[in-house]
Amino acid sequence: MARLLTTTGGADEDAYQAGPELPLTVIEARVKGFQCKFAPTRIVLIKSTHMYRDWVVIEVTDDDPKSEKFPKSGFYLVLNLMRRDANSLFEPAPELG
Section 12-24 average pLDDT: 85
In this prediction, residue 86 carries a pLDDT of 86
pLDDT of residue 95: 66
The residue type found at 74 is: G
**Cα Rg, the chain, nearest whole Å:** 13
Decide if 76 contacts 7 (C-beta within 8 A): no
Which residue in 17, 5, 14 sits closest to 78, CA to CA? 5
pLDDT per residue as tens digits for the range 74-86: 999 998 888 888 8
Q: Rounded mean pLDDT of 32-55?
A: 75
Extents of the domains making up the chain: 2-92
At residue 15, the 3 state secondary structure works out as helix
Question: pTM here?
Answer: 0.83
As a whole number, mean pLDDT of residues 27-55 equals: 78
* Bridge pairing between strands 74-82 and 16-22: unpaired
